[in-house]
Amino acid sequence: MLATLLPTGLDSERSILFHQDHLCWVLNCLTPVDKLRRMTTWKSRLAISRNAGSEDDVDESLPNSGLFTATHVPVGEDQQQHVELTQDLAEIFNRAFPGQNPLFPLSMYVNVPSKRILSLRDPTSKMSKSSRDAASRILLTDSASEIESKIRAAVTDSIPGISYDPVHRPGTSNLLTILAACTESDVQEVARTYSSRGRGRLKSDVADAVEELLEGPRSELERIRHEKAYLHEIARKDACKAMAYSDVTMEDVRQRIGLA
C-alpha cells in the first residue's frame, strides 16, 4: 500500500503515512447500530460479508480523523456519510466523557472536484477495488492496453450524441467526469466539446488521458515497489511522527473513559 501511495504525489516529508489501528474499539462501543443501518456503505458491505469487520471498516472514520483532531476531511461524495457519522460519534464521545474542553472537533466534509467516479461496468455504483469484476475499475498497475480495453468496454447508453446527464446517462457522464478530472477541466465544458462526437472518440480520448495521468506514477511504483528497506524506513519514520500526535489523544481518551 505504501509503495502505491508514494508515486501518486504524496510527499512523506509533508504528509504522515502510517498504519492506523487505535481508538476503533472505544468508538465501536459508542456507535448506535441504527446510525450504521442508515449508511449506504454499511448496508452494501453487509450484503457481501456479514461479519464484524464490515462494521469496523465503516466505523473507522473517527479513529482516522479524530485521533489526530482533524478539522477538515477531503473525500469523495460516497464518503460524506462517513464524515457525518464521525461528527455524530465526536458529539457522543464529547458529551459522554466531558473534560475541560471537548476532545474531538467536529470534522468538516470538504468536497473534492471529482466527487464520485463510477464503475465502468455498472455506472449505478461507485468504482471500487472490492468489486468482483476487475473490468469495472482502473488500477495504478494497469498497462496502457488494459486501460484502453477497460474504457472501450465501459457501459454507456444508446442515446445519440454526448451530454453530461448523471441521472439519465450515468455511464457517459462517468466517462466525461474521468476525462475532466484527468485534464483538470470543467466537466460541462468537456461535454460541450464532445457534444457532436461519437462515443468511440470519447472512449479513446478518456483512455489516452488516463494513461497519460498514470504513466509516470506507474513507472515510479515499479521503481520503488521492491525497495523494501526504503519503504520500511518511511513506514518506521512516519509511524513515529504519527505516534507523537496520537499518543497524546489516546492518553486523554483513556483518562476520560477510566482506563488510564
> Do residues 127 and 118 lie in contact, with contact meaning Cβ atoms separated by under 8 Å?
yes
Residue whose C-alpha is closest to residue 195's, from 176, 167, 181: 176
- How many CB atoms are closer than 10 A to CB 7? 19
Residue whose C-alpha is closest to residue 215's, from 138, 136, 142: 142
* Per-residue cell: 205: 480520448
> Do residues 152 and 207 lie in contact, with contact meaning Cβ atoms separated by under 8 Å?
yes
According to the model, what pLDDT value does residue 115 have?
A: 77
According to the model, what pLDDT value does residue 124 have?
A: 92
The partner residues of 148 in beta bridges, in order of sequence, read none
Total residues found in the chain within this entry: 260
According to the model, what pLDDT value does residue 44 have?
A: 63
According to the model, what pLDDT value does residue 60 have?
A: 56
Q: Which residues of the chain have pLDDT under 50?
A: 51-54, 58
- How many CB atoms are closer than 10 A to CB 10? 12
Q: Which residues contact 23 (CB under 8 A, 6 or more apart)?
A: 62, 63, 66, 67, 249, 250, 253
Determine the 3-state secondary structure of 112 from DSSP.
coil
Q: Measure the CA–CA gap between 102 and 104, rounded to whole angstroms.
A: 6
Full-model pTM: 0.77
Q: Measure the CA–CA gap between 46 and 213, rounded to whole angstroms.
A: 34
In sequence order, what E strands does 26-76 have? 72-75
Q: What is the pLDDT of residues 71-99, one digit of tens each?
A: 888 877 777 888 888 888 889 999 999 98
* Per-residue cell: 40: 449506504
Residue whose C-alpha is closest to residue 117's, from 9, 14, 213, 20: 213
According to the model, what pLDDT value does residue 75 have?
A: 79
Q: How far is CA 128 from CA 11, 36, 156, 196, in A?
A: 25, 20, 18, 31
Determine the 3-state secondary structure of 110 from DSSP.
strand
According to the model, what pLDDT value does residue 58 have?
A: 47
